[in-house]
Structure 1
C-alpha cells in the first residue's frame, strides 16, 4: 500500500495509530510525581493562606509530547519511504542485464549504472541470480551468472568506452548463457542509437528469454562530427544528429590547438527536420594550420570530437628537377623560386639523387601531399606508372614548363592538357606580338577569388592543343586568351601545369607575390597521403598510439590496452584501436570515431511476443524515513526525560514554570536544526587550505633543503651539515638562513628552495621516473641540485672504474636532461663569489666540483670571469661537503676531515659560502669587473 510521494513497507503497522486516544487517556490520568520538601514551620505558615493542590493529571504539553513520540515510532515501524520508486519484478529464474557502454552512453553513464543497480537490488530481493554483459567488452569477459554482490562489483568496475557498441557479439554470448537458464528476464539498457543487424541480434537474444525489460534515454540528442575539410577559404566541419524530424538546433564547434587551448569557434545550425549540418571556420590559413582537434561544446562524448593530422595542417611537398642548375648562380636554379615560395607554409623534401628512376620512388615513400616537377620531360616507365598511381590515389602533381617539356612527346596521363611540341615566343625580334599580361582569373578556377597581378607579363610559353574542355581546364589565362595555368582531376588527385618556367626567364611571374599566392592555394587543395615514418612489423605498417580520445571527449595519454594502428588498411575503431592520434611527435595519423558517411538513428524497441516492460533511466531518489523518524522520537524521549526531572523538582528554577513549554519547543527546534548549524559553522571557517602554512613558512626565510634518502644516519649528517653551514653563513655574511628542510622529491614542493643537497647512497632505493621528472623540472626552472657521492677515495665521476655511489649517480642522471659538465674553471664565478677559492674541499679533498660547462667558446679579453648570465642547475662533488659542515649539539665537528687538517674544514665552510652566494646573487661578480669601463664610457 502506498501513495505518492510517500509509501510504507508495512502499512498494517499504521493501525497502531488507533491506540493514540488510549495512550492520551492513560497519560491524562497519570499525575506527576509529588514534590518532596522539608518541614520548616515558618514556611508552612507562610503558605497557610495559599490553596495548594497536587494536579491529578499530566500537563497538556507533556501529554502532547508523548503522543507525538508514540506516533513517530508507529510511523517508523511502518517503513515509510519518501518519493518511492516502483519495484521492477524480474518474474523469472534469473535476470540478464545487457548494458550499452559505447561512446553514446558516456553523457548519462552514471544514470545508466544507477538503473542497473536498481535491477540488481530487485533481483536480490527475489533471490534471483544475475547475468551482466556490456556491449563494449572483451570477447572472453565473464558474464555470470553472479550473485548480487558480484554483479555490483562487475557493474562498478565497468565504464563507458569511446568506441562503437558490438551488440551482435554480446547478444550471442548472452543467448548461449540463457540456453542453460530458461525463463530468464532480459533487461536491455541501450544508448538510444541503432546499430547494424540489431533485429537479428535481438531475435537470438530473446529466443530463450521469459520477458523483456527495455530501457532507453528520454531523448537522444547526441551530435557527432563526421568529417573535416581545410578548404581554400575556410575550415569546414560536418556534423550529424540522431533524428531528422527534430526542430531547429544550434551548437558551437570549437577548434583547439595541441595544448587544448581554444583558438577559434564556429556556429553549427541544424534546421527543422535536418539530420546534417556544417560549420565553417573562416580564419586565416596560418591559424587553421594550428588546429589539432575540433569539438562540439556541451557534448561530453567521443563522437563530438574529431582529431586532425597532417592532412588538415601543413603539407609535405616534394620537389624534383631534371637539372641541378648552377650552384654559383642560384637564381637560375629551376627550384629556387619554388622553394622560396613554398617554404613558409609547407615541408619541402627533395630526393638524394637526380636520376628520375630512383628520385620519384624516393619522394613517393615520403607520402607527400604535392609534388612539384620543374621542366621534367620524359619519365622512365616504372617512375611514370608509380607517379600515375599516386596521383589517382589523391596526390597533387604540379608541373612547370621548360625546354625539356616543350621538346618531349605529349604525356596525357600526367598533364592536364595536350601540349603542342615547341614553345611560343612573345615580343621577340621575329615576333609581331608583345609580351602578354595576365587576365582576370576565370570563374570556377581555384584562384577565382584572388586578384591577378597587374605588373606580370609573359614572353614565352608552351601552348595547349585546343579541345572542347580547354576552357574548363584553364585556371589562369593571358590577355590574349591563351592558357597560362591549366588543371584537371585524375582519379582522386589533381594535375596542374604552369605553361612557363619556374625561373624568371620566360616570365616575371616567379619573382612576384602572385607566384606565392598561386602555389599556396595549390598546397591548400592538396592532401598528405599518410605519415612519412610508419613503423613496419610483419610486413604491415603500424603506428603506436600517441593521444587518444577518452569517453568524455577529452584527449588523454594512451591507455594500457591500446595497440599500434595498422595504416595499410582502413582500420576500425575498437577497444584495441580507440579513436585518437597514432604516431609520434614527428608525425601522427588521425583515427576518428565516426566515418564520413555515418548516420545516427534512434533505436527501435524489438517486436517480440514476450511481455515487455518499459522503464526510464534515472537515479534512485527514494528516501527511507525510518532513520530520521527514530532520531526525532529519540530527541523527544530525551525532552520527556528532562521534563519529568523538572516536574520532580530536580531541574526547577524559580519562576520558570510558565516558560517550560517555550523552552521545550526551543530545545526541540535546536535538536532538529543542529546538523544544519554545524554545517553552516563549517562553511564559515577560514579560507586557509591544508599545506598553506608550510608554504608560507618555507618562503618567509631562505632555507637549504636536503634529499631524504631513507637512511637515518645519512639524513642526520645532511641536516647537521646544513645547520653548521647556516651558522657559518650567519656569522660571516648578511645571510641568516632558516632551519634546513628534508624533502621527499616524489611528493614535496621543491620550488621553495634555491639549493637542494643530495647525498648519493648506493643502498637507497632508485627514485621513480616521476620523481626524477620533478627534479628535472626544478632545475629547468632555476633551482640547483648539489649531488655528493661522498666517495672521493673510491673513483672519480668520469673514471673508468666507478664506485657504487658514482654508478648510482650515473643511473639517476641518465634519466634526466643534464647539460654538459666541466670542473669549476679557475675564472668561474664560484671561485670569487665571496672568498677567493682555488678548490672546493669537504671531508675529503681532491675531487673537483663539476658544474654546467660554459656555452660560450670565445670570451671577451677584458672579462676574466666565465659563465655569463644564469646559475648552473647542477653541481657534483665526491668530497662529502655535509660531513665537513656537520656539527653536534655542543658545536663541535661530528666527523674528522681526511687528512686531519683544521684549515680544510675552514675551506669547506668557505666553499659552502661561495656556493650559497653564487646561488643567491648569480653573476654579480662578473658584472662588477665592467664597472670601470662603463663609467669611463659614460664620462666620454
Structure 2
C-alpha cells in the first residue's frame, strides 16, 4: 500500500482521474439542462405572450457541484483508501515479513474485538506481497506454526475466526515455539491484553530484541477477575479484583442458577487506589442452595465467572431437639451449633420433622433411647442417602441401639482422674483413607472419656480417627445409600477438649460431605469434566479435548486445553476449576524503549472505499431526482400516488373495526345463585383437524380442563363426571383458575399429557389395566402429570387404606414410594388451611409420593401419584342446576371441607410448593397470642384465616 499521511491507498493510480475534474466541471457548467416542454391546445394563444420563467443558459452551480462531488467520491473510492493513524510509513520496516502475536487467553475476552481490530489493521500497512505469520500465546493442541507463511487475505479471515481461550496465556511457551521454528520476522506486532501475567514484561523485551516491535495493549477496565468467595449460613462474600487501581469504579456481581437465572445482584465498589472490592450477598438459605455461579455483570470472560461447587455450598443440617437445657452455653448442642454456623444452614426439631425436611445430615448428641417409630424413620432416611452423625455421652454409654456404625460396650472409659489408671489421651494422626486426612491434629486436645467399640475384624476399616493408644475416636459405616457416623466422645467439654479447637469444625464439615457420598479422602479417584467454560465465560457441555484428572492433582491443576475451567464430577461430588482463583491482575508497568505503543485511536483502521462509493451513488441519485423534478416528470407521478393513497385510506375506513362486530353473550347460572357470562360468538377460530390430532385433543390443548378415566362402569363414569363438574364450578367461583368442562379419557388411545390432573374412580370389578394403558400412564407420570386414584372404600374398611386391589390393577406401573400426608404438607395450605382431606367419608388417610423437599427431581415438589379412599367425587357431584347429588357422612360442613380439599388439590397440582412457606403461620399466630396484653385494642385477624381461608 502507498501511505499518504494517516491514509493508505490500495490503488493509488486511480487518483490520477482527479486531474479530469476541471474538464468535467467545464463540460457540466457549459451544458445547459434540457428545455422544458409545455403542451398547449393551440400555439396561436402564445403569440405576444412573454414567458415568466426562462430556461437558464448554463447549469446552476449547485447542480454541477453535486455532480462534481459524485465523480470525486467515486474516484477516491476506487483508490481503496484506508484510514490508519498507526500505520508505519518507513519503507525499510514496511517491506519485510510481519509476525502478529495475539494474547488469546481469558484475560483478553473483555476487549477481544479491539485486539482483533488492531491486529487486522496492521495488515493494511507495509507491502501487500510481504509474508505474514501468526503466533498465539495461549497454548493449545493445534497452535499455528509461527514459520507458516499466510497471505494477508487469509490472515484477515483467520484473525476474524479466532476466539479467546478459557485459560491464561503462556508467553514463555509461545516464545519457545517461536525460537524452535527458526523464523526471524522483520517486524512484530503484539496485540496484548496489557497484563503482566507470567513474565509479560520479559516477553516484551524478548520480542523487541528479535525485531522492531509495535504493541497495542488493550488492558481490561473495571473488575477483571473473581479471585475468591467466602460463604456463611445465609450470606456469601465475593472478592473481585481489577488491574488498574486508579479512579473510582462501580461494578456488579450476579448470583445465578445453573441455567443462568439471576437470583440476586450486589455492587462492587472500588475506591481510588484500591484494586480489590467485595460484593456481599445476603440470601435466604433456600435460595442460596440454588446458586451455582457468580458472574460480574456486563464483563465477559472466564475470569469473571466463579463456579460454586458442592464443597463450598452451604449445607443443610438438622439438629435433633433434646429439650431445654439449664445451662445452654455449656450444652453439647451449643458447641455443635457454633461449629456448623460458618458453613451450614441449621434447623432444629423432632426426628419426624427433620426427616421430612431431608437435610444433608442429622446430628444427635447423646441420645440413648430412640422411639421405635423415630428409629424406623431414621433408618429409612439413612438408607435413602442420609448422613446420621451421633455423639456419645452418658446416655449412649448406658444403652445403645441399631443406628450405630459399630457395636459398643455398655460403659464408658474414663481417662485420667483420681480413680482412673490411664492418663487423658491425645489424638493420633488421621489415617490416609480417612475423610479427615490432611487435617492438622491439635496437640493440646485431650480426650478424658469415651465409649469403647467392641473389637472386630472390620473395626479398623470403619475407623476414621483414633486416639494415641489406638482406640477409635470416630467410626463410620455405610447403610444402604447413607452413612452412620459416631464420635465416641461428647460434643461439649465434658469428656474432651475437641470442641475448643478449630479442627472440630473441619471434622464436622468433612463428616457431612463424606456422609453424603462426597469422600474427601479420594486419592485413588478421578474427576471427569462435566460442564466447562469457554473464553467468554459461557457454560456448556465439556468438549472432546477436556480430559479427566486425578483427585490428588486437582488442587494443583494448571488450566489448559485438557483441563479447562468448569465443573468436574468425582468421588467428592462436584468440584470446580475457576480461572480467576487466587489471581491478582497487574498492568505491565514498563515497556521496552524501542517498542512503539499504539493508543486506541492509532490501533484502529477504517476502510473508506465502501462509504465513498456509497456517497457517490447517493449524490447521483439526488442529481437524477433533481433532473426529473425540473423536467416536470414528478408532478404526474405525484398526482397518481396521491390518488392511490386516497383510495387505500378510504378502503381502510370503510372496513368494519373489531368493535363493530356484534359480540353475542349468554349467561350461565352458577350453583351459588350468581351468573357468569359465557362468550358464544361464532367467530371463534377453530384449529383445523389433522390426521394425527382429534378435535378432543385440540380442545384439551386450547383450554385447561380436568379429566377422569373412563371405566366399564357407566354409572360410575357419570358420577365421576358430575363430581369433577362440581369441582370445576367451585374453582371458577372461588379462584382464578377457570377450567373448561371435564372430559373422560381412554388410557389406551387418548393423549394423557394434555391434562394436568386425571381422576381415576376405581370400580369394584375393574379388570387389570392393559400393557398399553400402563405404558401410557408411566409416560404421563414421568412427564409431570398427576394421577388421583380413589378406591371409594372408606365406608367399608378399617382406618387404613387397602391397596391390595391396586397392586393387581396397576401391575407394571412405575409407582414411586408413598407416604401419608403430614400436617405440615403444602396440601394443607395451598389455598385453604386444612387438617383433614374428607370426601364422602372423613378421617381417611391420603397417600402421596415420598419426597424429601420441594427440590426433589419431581417438578416443584408435586407428587405425581395421589391415592385415597374417601370418595371425593361423590362429595363434589352436582347436577345441571348445581344441586348436590349424593349424601355425605358429615353433612354440609364435611361437604364444604371436601370442596376445599378439592380446591387445594388442584392448586397444589398447578402451583406446586408455591405456599410451602405457610408452615410458619401457626408459629406467627402463636406468637401474636403469647405477648403481654397491650393497652390498645386487640388485633383482629381476617375471618378467612381463622376459618381456613387462603
What is the TM-score with the length of structure 1 in the denominator?
A: 0.51
Partner of 2:118: 115
Alpha-carbon distance between aligned partners in 2 of 1:783 and 1:394, rounded to the nearest angstrom: 53
Distance of aligned partners of 1:853 and 1:73 in 2 relative to their CA distance in 1, 3 Å threshold: same
Structure 1 counterpart of 2:472: none
Task: Name the CA distance, whole Å, in 1 between partners of 2:123 and 2:7.
Answer: 23
Indicate how the Cα distance of structure 1 residues 49 and 336 shifts in structure 2: closer, same or farther if over 3 A, else same. Answer: closer
Displacement of 1:163 after TM fit? 1.7
Match of 2:180? 176
Match of 2:676 in 1: none
1:901-916 equivalence runs, <5 A: none
SS in 1 for 2:107: helix
Q: Determine which of 149, 157, 163 is the counterpart of 1:159.
A: 163
1:801-833 per-residue CA deviation (whole Å, 9 max, x = no partner) reads xxxx999x99x96996699999x99999xxxxx
Residue matched to 1:579 = 565
Moved more, 230-239 or 716-725: 716-725
Q: State the Cα distance separating 1:189 from its structure 2 match.
A: 0.8
Q: Which secondary structure does the structure 1 equivalent of 2:552 belong to? A: coil
- CA–CA distance in structure 1, aligned partners of residues 172 and 513 of structure 2: 36
Shift of 1:216: 0.6
| Root mean square deviation, CA, Å | 6.9
CA distance in 2, matches of 1:253, 1:34: 73
User: Deviation at 1:530?
Assistant: 12
* Partner residue, 2:131: 129
Cα deviations across residues 429-459 of structure 1 (Å, max 9, x unaligned)?
Answer: xxxxxxxxxxxxxxxxxxxxxxxxxxxxxxx
1:862 to partner: Cα distance = 6.6
What's the counterpart of residue 594 of structure 1? 580
Q: Which residue of 2 aligns with 1:72?
A: 70
In structure 2, the residue matched to 1:628 is 614
The Cα of 1:582 is off from its aligned counterpart by: 2.1
* Equivalent residue, structure 1, for 2:377: none
Matching residue within 751, 756, 761 for 1:782: 756
Whether 1:140 aligns to 2:185 is no
Identify if the C-alpha distance between structure 1 residues 855 and 279 changes in structure 2 by more than 3 Å, giving closer, same or farther: closer
| Cα separation, 1, equivalents of 2:528 and 2:117 | 36
Map 1:381-780 to 2 at 5 A.
384-386=428-430, 393-394=438-439, 403-404=449-450, 494-495=502-503, 532-533=517-518, 540-569=524-553, 570=555, 571-583=557-569, 587-596=573-582, 598-604=583-589, 606-607=591-592, 612=596, 614=598, 616=600, 620-621=605-606, 623=608, 624-639=610-625, 642=628, 645-646=631-632, 716=691
Unaligned runs of 5+ in 2: 320-330, 341-345, 348-358, 369-381, 394-411, 416-421, 453-463, 470-488, 643-681, 702-717, 722-738, 759-768, 794-808, 821-836, 849-870, 878-883, 896-950
Judge conservation of contact 2:83–2:606 (CA < 8 Å) in 1. Answer: yes
* Higher Rg: 1
What SS does structure 1 have at the residue aligned with 2:560? coil
Deviation at 1:160, TM superposition (A): 1.8
Deviations 1:564-609 (A, max 9, x none): 343212222222322233227993223222343x321112565376
Helix, strand or coil: the match of 2:83? coil
TM-score (norm. length: structure 2): 0.51
**What does residue 306 of structure 1 align with?**
306
How far did residue 126 of structure 1 move?
0.6
Residues in 2 aligned to 1:640 and 1:114: alpha-carbon distance in whole angstroms:
41
Q: 1:96 to 1:259 in 2, by over 3 A?
A: same
Change (3 A) 1:14 1:376: farther
Q: Does 1:99 align with 2:102?
A: yes
Q: What 5-or-longer segments of structure 1 have no aligned partner?
A: 320-333, 355-362, 407-412, 419-460, 463-474, 497-518, 654-659, 671-698, 707-714, 727-732, 735-750, 762-774, 785-795, 799-804, 829-846, 871-921
Taking structure 1 as reference, are residues 269 and 116 closer, same or farther at Cα in structure 2, changes over 3 Å only?
same
Matched, 1:197 2:191: no
Structure 1 segment 18-29 matched on structure 2, within 5 A = 18-19=22-23, 22-23=26-27, 26-27=30-31
C-alpha contact (below 8 Å) 1:175/1:205 kept by paired residues:
no
Aligned 8 A contact 2:82 2:607 in 1:
yes
8 Å Cα contact 2:239/2:277 also seen in 1? yes
Residues 175 and 206, structure 1, Cα contact 8 Å, conserved in 2: no
Cα distance in structure 2, aligned partners of 1:60 and 1:588: 81
1:472 — aligned with what?
none
Distance 1:757-1:77 versus aligned 2 partners, 3 A rule = farther
CA contact (8 A) 1:11 1:78 kept: yes
Contact 2:167 2:565 in 1 (8 A): yes
Could you tell me how far apart the structure 2 residues matched to 1:292 and 1:585 are? 19
* Cα distance, 1:155–1:219 mapped onto 2, change above 3 Å: closer
Structure 1 residues 348 and 579, CA gap change in structure 2 (3 angstroms): farther
Aligned residues: 637
